[in-house]
Amino acid sequence: MERWHYFREKLFEEFGGYTIAPGEYLGCYTDPDTHNIVSDQSRKYILALPANEVQKLRRFLRKEAIIFKQKTIYLQVGGKVEFISFRK
């Protein structure tokens, strides 16, 4: 099964719905381990969750970081930015 399709299925199963922002986001950042500049493409998913489910989302994203082979996943909750890592 295509990985993004599986991700959307899991989001729906775990949280009851989602919205996908249109397009892909192109960007770059400095890798904290190698200090090299890394270019990437990102997708943006929007979820409306009660506050008591945010920790569940963090756990979900930690697992997905491993599956997608990402050091971190950007998460914004209530206007505050977090970087979710499988290492935490």
pLDDT tier at 14, thresholds 50, 70, 90: very high
Query: For residue 10, what pLDDT is reported?
Result: 96
Query: For residue 86, what pLDDT is reported?
Result: 78
Helix orientation angle between 3-15 and 54-67, rounded to the nearest 10 degrees:
160
The 10 Å Cβ neighbour count of residue 8 is 14
Q: Where are the domains of the chain?
A: 3-85
Contact 49, 57 (CB under 8 A): yes
pLDDT tens-digit readout, 15-32: 999 999 999 999 999 998
Q: How far apart are CA 26 and CA 10, in angstroms?
A: 25
Q: Is the pLDDT of residue 11 over 60?
A: yes
Q: Is the pLDDT of residue 88 over 80?
A: no
